Every structure is written in structure tokens, then in C-alpha cells.
């Protein structure tokens, strides 16, 4: 197995997972993913930055063949896709020590049974001299777990940010060459993994700014030799700026809620508001979450079922609430039969979003003219609020 050179003495030793379809049994991986690990050789010592998913332990160990001595494994993050092969590498290199944040040390013992005598905690700002090369460790908690940190290789000005700036993208390109494809994958990654921590991400970006890295080598996806590409994108995505757009997750059982949805779409378009509907029965979480990165409004459309909200709507509500997109307004459309039940209770569905809740449009059975006029009023209200926020 080849190692791929980033710079002389610095090599990619990761794994490409071309065909994985889901992460966490939740996040779609339409383009697979990669688990990046990097070998950094100093004149005196050698460090491995992260490992790979346990399914690829043989790949990593083969890439490390011929490495005579490994002194350190830097564990930026204890999640198994990066730390899961640490026990195997420790077995192969009995003198190696694992470096992590204090919380990372705790997690590696709890999750992977790494022996305490193979672990060393590093403090924020601490440096490690490898001989002609110096790694500086910076604690960046909640990217996207509480124990996370990044490394900066000072002489080469390479930032190793682990999941931050990552992209679920398996590609033979070591470098981010097809920028449109990489950015789309990175935006999807941000939306599903990091958007809930946008406020902290902005602070972390400020902390990293003085480093002015020449290269950014994340733990998923290709390496950036034009760091501004991903840094500028992250400033936009985490900045909370929204656009004149409505995201519309919808499900209908017998066509009544679908008529409300159809009317809302037409009415929004007529008022110059962009709209992206998503069919909840065939939802791609990556597509929905990516749309939510900069949508000003979400409108959920779902009927009542057995006196409650349609379970698909309740499920997507829980997901959206957890992802914490920067939406400003939230609405609801729905039809009901013999009982209105819980439908239309938007604030209860999205308790963690700081949104202005709009008056829901609910109708008994098939929508009548008055119901469709209420949908038009909702569309007009959304257009007015977007205009008042300067989004048009
Ligand atoms: Fe790529 Fe949070 O692990």
C-alpha cells in the first residue's frame, strides 16, 4: 500500500471507503468517504496524526509497513472513524504514546480501552518538537464532540483540523482540485455534522485565523492547497446569513395536504420567494440539511394521523431541531380528518430553534377556497418578512 506525499516527510496514510452508504446509520454518503491519517517525520521523532475506521485497519497497517519507529499517535478526536484503529497501531509500535486532550484521554479509555500508560494529555497551545518540525496542539471543543483538538505543523504551516473542514467524499484526488464537487460535499458535511455548533465554529475560526495555514489537511475528503476555498465557505455557512428561501418538508396521505403544499409553492414563486420541497416519504437527510444552511424559513407540511402528527413529520422535526439551522421563521400546513390532534404546534416541534412561529394553516379534509386563501396569506407573510429582513 502506497503512502502519498503531501510534502517531503509528510505523507497521507489513510483509507478510501468508496462504497459506504451511511454514517451513524443516519447520514447518507452518496460519494462514500475517506478516513485520512497523516505521517509526520521529524529528524528525531515520528508522529501519526489520527488513524482510520476499524474496517480499514489492515489498510493502515500496510501503509505503515517500513516505518521503523513511531513515537506518537495524535488523536484529535476519539470517534471511531479516526481513533478506532489506535489499539492496532499501538500493538504494532509498542513504544508509541497517544496524545489527546484530557477529555480525549478519558474517551479513548472508555470507548477503545486504550491503556492509561499509553496515553498522554496535551494542553491547549502545547507544542511537540519532532526534530526540525513542531506540532502545536489547539483545543477546539465541540467539533463535533467535546474532546476535539487540531494540530498545526508550524514550519510547514499545515493545519490538521480533523473533522473541521471535512467532506464525505471518496476520491482518488489527494488535493481539492474539483472545487465545485469538493465544496458541495463539504457543505453537506458541515450541514449534518457541524451546523449545530455554528456559534462555536465561528469562535474557532477566529482562533485559527492567525495561523494563516498554507495547507489544510482534514480527516475526511481531499487536502486543501488553497485554504481560502474552505475557510471562506465556513465563514459563510457558520455566519448565520440566510437567503430568500423556504425549505418545505412535506408528506401527504390522501392528497389534501399536497394541495396546500402545491398552493404554497405557487404562491411563494409568484412573490419571488425561492422554495425547496422535500418528500418526507423518501427523504435524503443530506439534501434537506444542506438546504437548511441558508434558508430563512422552514414550513413543515403534514397531516394528522390517529390524533397525532404524522410520524415522518415528527421525526424530521426532531432532526431539524437537533441540527439547529439558522432559519428565522417557521410555519405549518396540514389537513386533518376527525381530530386536529397535535398538528400545527410548530413551537413544540422545534423547541431549540430561535424562530418566529407563523400562524399555521390547518384544514378539515380537502382544502376549500378559504383554506387556499389562507395559504396565500401565509406566502404573503413570508415574502413580507423576508423583504423586511432585507433578503429580497
Ligand atoms: Fe469523522 Fe466525528 O468523526
Helices (H), the chain: 57-63, 80-83, 86-92, 102-112, 179-189, 198-208, 228-238, 256-270, 285-292, 311-323, 346-349, 369-388
**Which ligand 1 atom is at minimum distance from the Cα of 193?**
2
pLDDT digits (tens, 9 = 90+) for 311-358: 999 999 999 999 999 999 999 999 998 888 778 888 888 999 999 999
User: Ligand 1 mean position to 28 CA, how many Å?
Assistant: 14
User: Ligand 1 mean position to 164 CA, how many Å?
Assistant: 9
What is the model's pLDDT at position 306?
A: 84
% of the chain with per-residue pLDDT over 70: 100
Cα–Cα dist 91/154, whole Å: 29
Residue 16: left if φ>0, alpha if ψ -120 to 50, beta else—which one?
Answer: beta
Nearest Cα residue to atom 2 of ligand 1: 79
Closest CA to 237 of 195, 184, 287: 195
Closest CA to 328 of 361, 291, 345, 353: 353
User: Ligand 1 mean position to 109 CA, how many Å?
Assistant: 17
Cα–Cα dist 184/65, whole Å: 35
Query: Which residues does a 6 A CB cutoff place in the pocket of ligand 1?
Result: 77, 79, 81-82, 144, 163, 219-220
| DSSP designation for 379 | H
**Which ligand 1 atom is at minimum distance from the Cα of 148?**
2
60 with 52: CB under 8 angstroms? yes
Nearest Cα residue to atom 1 of ligand 1: 163
Cα angle 148-150-156, degrees, rounded to a multiple of 5: 170
User: Ligand 1 mean position to 99 CA, how many Å?
Assistant: 17
3-state secondary structure 222-281: CEECCCHHHHHHHHHHHCCCCEEEEEEEECCCCCHHHHHHHHHHHHHHHCCCEEEEEEHH
Cα–Cα dist 26/255, whole Å: 28
Whole-Å CA distances, 372 to 4, 134, 255, 298, 343: 60, 65, 14, 19, 18
Where do the structural domains in the chain lie, given as residue ranges?
4-238, 243-384
CATH number belonging to domain 4-238: 3.60.15.10
pLDDT digits (tens, 9 = 90+) for 68-122: 999 999 999 999 999 999 999 999 999 999 999 999 999 999 999 999 999 999 9
DSSP string spanning 151-191?
EEETTTTEEE-TTTT------S-SB--SHHHHHHHHHHHII
Contacts of residue 390, Cβ cutoff 8 Å, sequence gap at least 6: none
pLDDT over threshold 90, residue 1: no
User: Ligand 1 mean position to 83 CA, how many Å?
Assistant: 9
What is the model's pLDDT at position 342?
A: 75
Find the mean pLDDT for residues 210-226. 98
73 with 51: CB under 8 angstroms? yes
pLDDT digits (tens, 9 = 90+) for 151-198: 999 999 999 999 999 999 999 999 999 999 999 999 999 999 999 999
CATH number belonging to domain 243-384: 3.40.50.360
| DSSP designation for 197 | G
What is the model's pLDDT at position 343?
A: 83
User: Ligand 1 mean position to 143 CA, how many Å?
Assistant: 9
**Which ligand 1 atom is at minimum distance from the Cα of 166?**
1
| DSSP designation for 110 | H
What is the model's pLDDT at position 339?
A: 81
Taking the model in full, what pTM does it have?
Answer: 0.95
Beta strand 119-121 pairing with 329-336: unpaired
**Mean pLDDT (the chain, rounded):** 96
**Which ligand 1 atom is at minimum distance from the Cα of 163?**
1
**Which ligand 1 atom is at minimum distance from the Cα of 162?**
1
User: Ligand 1 mean position to 65 CA, how many Å?
Assistant: 25
pLDDT digits (tens, 9 = 90+) for 256-279: 999 999 999 999 999 999 999 999
Cα–Cα dist 99/275, whole Å: 47
Amino acid at each position: 500500500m502506497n503512502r502519498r506525499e503531501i510534502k517531503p516527510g509528510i505523507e497521507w496514510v489513510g483509507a478510501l471507503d468508496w462504497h459506504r452508504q451511511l454514517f451513524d446509520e443516519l447520514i447518507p454518503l452518496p460519494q462514500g468517504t475517506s478516513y485520512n491519517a497523516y505521517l509526520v517525520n521529524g529528524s528525531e521523532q515520528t508522529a501519526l496524526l489520527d488513524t482510520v475506521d476499524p474496517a480499514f485497519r489492515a489498510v493502515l497497517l500496510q501503509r505503515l509497513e517500513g516505518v521503523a519507529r513511531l513515537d506518537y499517535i495524535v488523536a484529535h478526536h476519539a470517534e471511531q472513524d479516526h481513533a478506532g484503529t489506535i489499539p492496532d497501531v499501538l500493538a504494532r509500535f509498542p513504544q508509541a504514546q497517544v496524545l489527546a486532550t484530557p477529555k480525549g484521554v478519558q474517551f479513548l479509555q472508555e470507548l477503545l480501552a486504550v491503556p492509561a500508560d499509553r496515553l498522554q494529555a496535551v494542553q491547549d497551545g502545547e507544542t511537540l518538537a519532532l526534530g526540525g518540525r513542531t506540532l502545536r496542539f489547539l483545543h477546539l471543543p465541540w467539533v463535533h464532540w467535546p474532546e476535539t483538538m487540531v494540530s498545526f505543523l508550524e514550519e510547514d504551516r499545515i493545519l490538521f483540523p480533523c473533522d473541521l473542514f471535512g467532506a464525505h467524499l471518496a476520491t482518488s484526488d489527494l488535493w481539492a482540485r474539483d472545487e465545485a464537487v469538493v465544496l458541495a460535499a463539504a457543505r453537506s458535511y458541515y450541514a449534518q455534522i457541524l451546523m449545530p455548533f455554528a456559534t462555536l465554529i465561528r469562535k474557532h475560526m477566529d482562533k485559527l485565523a492567525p495561523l494563516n495555514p498554507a495547507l489544510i489537511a482534514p480527516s475526511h475528503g481531499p487536502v486543501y492547497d488553497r485554504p481560502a476555498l474552505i475557510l471562506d465557505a465556513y465563514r459563510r455557512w457558520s455566519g448565520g446569513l440566510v437567503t430568500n428561501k423556504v425549505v418545505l418538508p412535506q408528506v401527504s396521505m390522501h392528497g389534501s395536504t399536497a394541495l396546500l403544499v402545491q398552493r404554497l409553492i405557487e404562491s411563494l414563486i409568484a412573490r419571488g420567494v425561492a422554495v425547496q420541497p422535500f418528500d418526507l416519504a423518501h427523504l435524503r437527510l443530506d439534501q434537506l440539511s444542506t438546504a437548511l444552511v441558508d434558508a430563512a424559513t422552514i414550513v413543515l407540511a403534514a397531516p394528522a394521523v390517529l390524533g397525532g402528527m404524522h410520524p415522518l413529520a415528527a421525526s424530521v422535526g426532531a432532526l431539524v431541531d437537533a441540527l439547529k439551522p439558522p432559519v428565522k421563521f417557521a410555519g405549518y400546513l396540514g389537513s386533518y380528518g376527525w381530530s386536529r390532534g397535535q398538528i400545527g404546534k410548530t413551537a413544540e416541534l422545534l423547541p431549540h430553534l430561535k424562530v418566529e412561529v407563523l400562524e399555521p394553516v390547518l384544514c378539515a379534509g380537502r382544502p376549500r377556497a378559504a383554506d387556499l386563501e389562507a395559504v396565500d396569506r401565509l406566502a404573503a407573510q413570508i415574502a413580507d418578512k423576508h423583504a423586511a429582513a432585507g433578503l429580497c
